[in-house]
Amino acid sequence: MKTPKIKLFFLFVTFLGVQLSVAQTHNIQVDFKKNGIPVQKTMYGIFFEDINYGADGGLYAELVKNRSFEFPEHLMGWNTFGKVEVKADGPFKNNPHYIRLAYAGHDEKQTGLDNEGYFGIGVKKDAEYRFSVWAKKASSANGSIRVEIIDTESNVIANAKLDIPSTEWKLYELILKPSRTLPDAKLRIFLTSKSEVDLEHVSLFPVDTWKGRKNGLRKDLAQALYDLKPGVFRFPGGCIVEGTDLNSRYQWKNSIGQVENRTLNENRWQYTFPHRFFPDYYQSYGLGFYEFFQLSEDIGAEPLPVLSCGLACQFQNKDIHAHVPVAELNPYVQDALDLIEFANGDVTTKYGKIRAEMGHPAPFNLKLIAIGNEQWGELYPERLVPFITAIRARHPEIKIIGSAGPSPDGKDFDYGWQEMKRLKADLVDEHYYRSLEWFLSGAARYDKYDRKGPKVFAGEYACHPANRKNNYEAALCEAAFMTGFERNADVVQMCTYAPLFSHVQGWQWKPDLIWFDNLRSVRSVNYYVQQLYGHNAGTNVLTTTENKTALTGQDGIYASSVFDSGRNEIILKIANTSDSEKSVTYHLKGLKTAERKVTKTVLKSTNPDAENSLDNPETVVPKSEEINVPGNDFELKLAPKAFYLLNIKL
Ligand code: AHR
C-alpha cells in the first residue's frame, strides 16, 4: 500500500525529533585552573539549635529528665510514691531544689520515685549505664537506696544498691547493665533503709558516649555530625538565642562551669504551632558553650556562636519594651567580649581560667561571632552598632556576622543588607525556608551579588515540599541550588542547613537533617546532599559553562566544579532535575589529555517522595562506582531527577 505524503512527512519529522533528542547533548566546559576562586574551609557547615529535643533528650546523652528538680513544680518528669518531699536548700546555688526520701513505716518500695526520661529512657542490653547522684543521709541511721531500670510494667532489667553513710553531700556513682533493650524504660529509685535520704542531680548516662566523655554526647548523633565533615558549626540557635522574652534568651554564662550548677532555662520551643505544646521542654544547659566549642574541635569545624543582640524573638514580641533599650546594652556587649575571652583568652584571664578549669587550657581559636539571629527593621542596626564598635576595638581578628532577617527577599531583607553594608559586617546571615520552585529558580541568586560588600552566610536553609518532608525531591532541589553556592564561593563563604536534629516523638519543626528515637537515628536524604558537598568542597572553583553561560537550571541542569589541591582532584557536581534522561559531554580545558580514574557517585530515586526512615534508613543513599574516562572530553548520561558527583584524579 502506498503511504500518503502527509504521513511520510510526519514520520520524517518524528524521526528527526527522535534523532535530535537522542543526539542533543549539553556541552559543558570546565576550565581547569589551580588558582581559581578559593573555597573557604568554612563553606559547608552545620547549624545546631535545641529544637525538636535536639539537646536534652537528643545529642546530650543524659537520660533523666529534670535531674535537678528545677522544672516548674519541681517534680515534672518524676512519679513519686511514699514520703517524698521537695527541699530548697541544696548544695548547688543555682539549682537549690532536691528531694528527701523518708521511711514510710512499711514494706520495701514504700518511698521512692520513677523518672520517665524523654519519651521513655532508651537502654541497650548489656551496655553500661552510669547512674550518679549527689546524696546525703538526713537522719542518724545510715541511708541506702536501690536503683533500678524498669520496663513499663515495672519489671526490673537492671538494679544496684547504694549506701549513703555520710551526712555530707557527696557524689555517688554506680554502673547498671540492662538485661534487655528497651526504648521506653524508666529509672526507679527507692529507699531501702529506715531512715531519711536526700538526693540531688540524679543522672543516668550511657558509659559509651562520644569520645567516652562523662557528661557526654550520644555517640550515634555526634558521629553523624563528624561524618558530615562540616567546616563551620553554628550554635546554639536559632530563636532560642533570642528567647520567648529576654529572660529566657540563651545566656551562655549560665551554660558553663560545673554542670550541677548550670541554671535551667525554659525552651522557646515549648510553644510551637497551635496544636503542639511541650510543657516539659527545658534547657538543662548540660550541653553548654564549653561542650559546643569542644564538639566544634572534635568535628573539625570552626565554632560560630550566636549571641543575643538585646532583641527578644521579634516574631513573638511586637512591643518595643520587650527589648533592651540601646542605652542599656552594655551587659550584652560585655557578654560578647567575655565569650571571646572564654574561647580564646589566656588561662590567667577570668573566663580563660574557667575554660582551663573545665579541661581545655588551650584556646578554642574562635574566629567568628554572630550578633543576633533573625533580626529585622530599625531596632536591629542600632543595637548592632555597640557590639561592632566594642568587638572591633578589642578583637579586630574576629569576624562579625549580622542578620538579614527571616526572609531571603523583600523590604526588610533589602533594608537589612543595606544596613549590614553600612555597618561593614563581615558576613550577612540569610535564612530561607522555601518551596521547591523557589530553590529551583534560585541557583543564580548569588551570581549578581556585590563582590565588594559583606560576604554571605546562608545560615539556615531547607527546601519545603508538601508537608515539609525530608523527601528526595527536596534534597535534589537543595543539591541543585547549592551549585550556586559553589559557583559563587567568592561571595558565599559559609552555609549551614537547618535544623540538625529531630526526635520522632517530639518535633516542632521540619525538615531536619537527622531524625532519631531513643535508640536509633537516621540520616535524611538531605543529610547525604550536605555530606556530598562537605566531603567535596574542594579548594578552588572551576568555571563551568555551556556556551559561556553558567548552568543554573536550563533544561533542568545545574552544574558546578571545583579543584581540590590537597587531593589533586577535579570534582564535578551536576544535577538533572528534569523528568527525562539527559546527555552531557564534559570538556576539561587546560589539562594534559589522559585517561583518568573517576569515582562516580549518584544520588537518585524514581520516587520524589522517598524518605529515609528509622526502619528503612537507606531508602535513598548515594552510590559510588569507579569508572575510567578516556580523555578530557567524555560523555555522561544523567538519569532523570538525579544528582551526580565525579571525583577525577589528576
Ligand atoms: O531552625 C528553626 C528556626 O527557624 C530557627 O530558630 C529560626 O532562626 C528560624 O526561624
Domain boundary among 146, 171, 206: 206
| Ligand 1 atom with least separation from CA of 373 | 8
- Kindly state whether residues 251 and 108 are assigned to the same domain: no
Query: How far apart, in whole angstroms, are the C-alpha atoms of residue 507 and residue 464?
Result: 16
Q: Whose CA is nearest to atom 6 of ligand 1?
A: 238
| Ligand 1 atom with least separation from CA of 47 | 1
Say yes or no to pLDDT of 503 above 60: yes
In a domain, 491, yes or no: no
Ligand 1: residue of 48, 460, 500, 526 to mutate (most ligand atoms within 8 A of CB) is: 460
The reported pLDDT for the residue numbered 19 is 41
| Ligand 1 atom with least separation from CA of 238 | 6
- Kindly state whether residues 516 and 555 are assigned to the same domain: no
Task: Count the alpha carbons within 13 Å of 386 in the hemisphere toward its beta carbon.
Answer: 21
In a domain, 8, yes or no: no
Per-residue buried b or exposed e for 451-473, using 16+ beta carbons within 10 Å of the residue's own CB? eebbbbbbbbbbbbbeeebbbbb
188 CB-near residues (< 8 Å, 6+ apart): 112, 113, 114, 115, 147, 148, 149, 150, 154
The reported pLDDT for the residue numbered 275 is 65
Locate 622 and state its grid cell.
Answer: 548515594
Query: Which residues sit opposite 583 in a β-bridge?
Result: 637
Query: How far apart, in whole angstroms, are the C-alpha atoms of residue 77 and residue 67?
Result: 9
Span from the CA of 315 to the centroid of ligand 1 (angstroms): 11
Q: Round the CA-based radius of gyration of the chain to a whole number and report it.
A: 28
Query: How far apart, in whole angstroms, are the C-alpha atoms of residue 57 and residue 40?
Result: 34
Three-state secondary structure string covering 139-205:
CCCCEEEEEEEECCCCCEEEEEEEEECCCCCEEEEEEECCCCCEEEEEEEEEECCCCEEEEEEEEEE
52 CB-near residues (< 8 Å, 6+ apart): 58, 269, 499, 501, 502, 503, 506, 507, 508, 509, 512
* Mean pLDDT on 267-274: 80
Task: Count the alpha carbons within 13 Å of 127 in the hemisphere toward its beta carbon.
Answer: 18
Picking from 529, 435, 546, the residue whose alpha carbon sits closest to that of residue 486 is 529
What is the band of 4 on the pLDDT scale with cuts at 50, 70, 90? very low
- Kindly state whether residues 294 and 250 are assigned to the same domain: yes
Residue 175 CB coordination number (10 Å): 11
Between strands 596-604 and 623-629, the pairing is antiparallel
374 is an active site residue: yes
- Kindly state whether residues 264 and 164 are assigned to the same domain: no
- Kindly state whether residues 192 and 248 are assigned to the same domain: no
Q: Whose CA is nearest to atom 4 of ligand 1?
A: 238
Q: Considering the candidates 291, 374, 460, 486, report the single residue annotated as catalytic.
A: 374
Grid cell 560588600 is found at 453
CATH of the domain at 253: 3.20.20.80
- Kindly state whether residues 265 and 411 are assigned to the same domain: yes
Ligand 1: residue of 50, 52, 239, 401 to mutate (most ligand atoms within 8 A of CB) is: 239
Query: Which residues sit opposite 644 in a β-bridge?
Result: 574, 602
Q: Whose CA is nearest to atom 7 of ligand 1?
A: 238
Task: Count the alpha carbons within 13 Å of 83 in the hemisphere toward its beta carbon.
Answer: 17
Q: Can you give the pTM of this predicted structure?
A: 0.95
CATH of the domain at 613: 2.60.40.1180
Q: What is the pLDDT of residues 328-369, one digit of tens each?
A: 999 999 999 999 999 999 999 999 999 999 999 999 999 999
Q: Whose CA is nearest to atom 9 of ligand 1?
A: 238
Span from the CA of 382 to the centroid of ligand 1 (angstroms): 23
Query: How far apart, in whole angstroms, are the C-alpha atoms of residue 78 and residue 76?
Result: 5
In a domain, 16, yes or no: no
In a domain, 275, yes or no: yes
- Kindly state whether residues 546 and 521 are assigned to the same domain: no
Say yes or no to pLDDT of 157 above 50: yes
In a domain, 467, yes or no: no
409 CB-near residues (< 8 Å, 6+ apart): none
Helices (H), 198-324: 219-226, 239-242, 289-299
Span from the CA of 501 to the centroid of ligand 1 (angstroms): 13
Span from the CA of 509 to the centroid of ligand 1 (angstroms): 9
Span from the CA of 205 to the centroid of ligand 1 (angstroms): 29
Ligand 1: residue of 48, 49, 457 to mutate (most ligand atoms within 8 A of CB) is: 49
Residue 160 CB coordination number (10 Å): 14
**Residue count of the chain:** 650
Q: What is the pLDDT of residues 555-585, one digit of tens each?
A: 999 999 999 999 999 999 999 999 999 999 9
Helices (H), 375-471: 379-394, 411-422, 436-441
Per-residue buried b or exposed e for 393-405, using 16+ beta carbons within 10 Å of the residue's own CB? eebeebbbbbbbb
In a domain, 258, yes or no: yes
| Ligand 1 atom with least separation from CA of 509 | 2
Span from the CA of 123 to the centroid of ligand 1 (angstroms): 31
- Kindly state whether residues 198 and 230 are assigned to the same domain: no
The reported pLDDT for the residue numbered 21 is 44
Helices (H), 443-597: 472-487, 525-535
Query: How far apart, in whole angstroms, are the C-alpha atoms of residue 56 and residue 237?
Result: 14
Query: How far apart, in whole angstroms, are the C-alpha atoms of residue 621 and residue 602?
Result: 9
Per-residue buried b or exposed e for 45-60, using 16+ beta carbons within 10 Å of the residue's own CB? bbbbbbbbbbbbbbbb
CB-CB contact of 496 with 527 (8 Å): no
What total of structural domains would you count in the chain?
3
CB-CB contact of 217 with 295 (8 Å): yes
Ligand 1 shell residues, CB under 6 Å? 49, 51, 237-239, 373-374, 406, 431, 460, 498-499, 509
Q: What is the pLDDT of residues 16-51, one digit of tens each?
A: 444 444 448 999 999 999 999 999 999 999 999 999
Ligand 1: residue of 374, 468, 508 to mutate (most ligand atoms within 8 A of CB) is: 374
Q: What is the pLDDT of residues 404-432, one digit of tens each?
A: 999 999 999 999 999 999 999 999 999 99
Span from the CA of 468 to the centroid of ligand 1 (angstroms): 14
* Mean pLDDT on 590-602: 96
Grid cell 574566629 is found at 367
Three-state secondary structure string covering 545-581:
EECCEECECHHHEEEEEEEECCCCEEEEEEEECCCCC
In a domain, 640, yes or no: yes
What average pLDDT does the structure give for the chain? 95
The reported pLDDT for the residue numbered 108 is 61
- Kindly state whether residues 280 and 415 are assigned to the same domain: yes
Picking from 332, 326, 343, the residue whose alpha carbon sits closest to that of residue 307 is 332
Picking from 162, 132, 133, 170, the residue whose alpha carbon sits closest to that of residue 145 is 162
CB-CB contact of 307 with 291 (8 Å): no
* Mean pLDDT on 45-59: 97
Say yes or no to pLDDT of 109 above 90: no
- Kindly state whether residues 272 and 173 are assigned to the same domain: no
| Ligand 1 atom with least separation from CA of 240 | 6
User: Of the ranges 5-9, 191-195, 510-514, which one carries the lowest mean pLDDT score?
Assistant: 5-9
Q: What is the pLDDT of residues 75-88, one digit of tens each?
A: 999 999 999 999 99
CATH of the domain at 155: 2.60.120.260
221 CB-near residues (< 8 Å, 6+ apart): 58, 59, 210, 501, 514, 516, 521
- Kindly state whether residues 266 and 340 are assigned to the same domain: yes
Angle at 136 between CA 132 and CA 137, to 5 degrees: 130
Between strands 44-47 and 492-497, the pairing is parallel
Grid cell 531527577 is found at 641
Domain span at 564:
24-41+542-649
Which of the 8 DSSP states describes residue 251?
-
In a domain, 357, yes or no: yes
- Kindly state whether residues 276 and 339 are assigned to the same domain: yes
Span from the CA of 319 to the centroid of ligand 1 (angstroms): 21
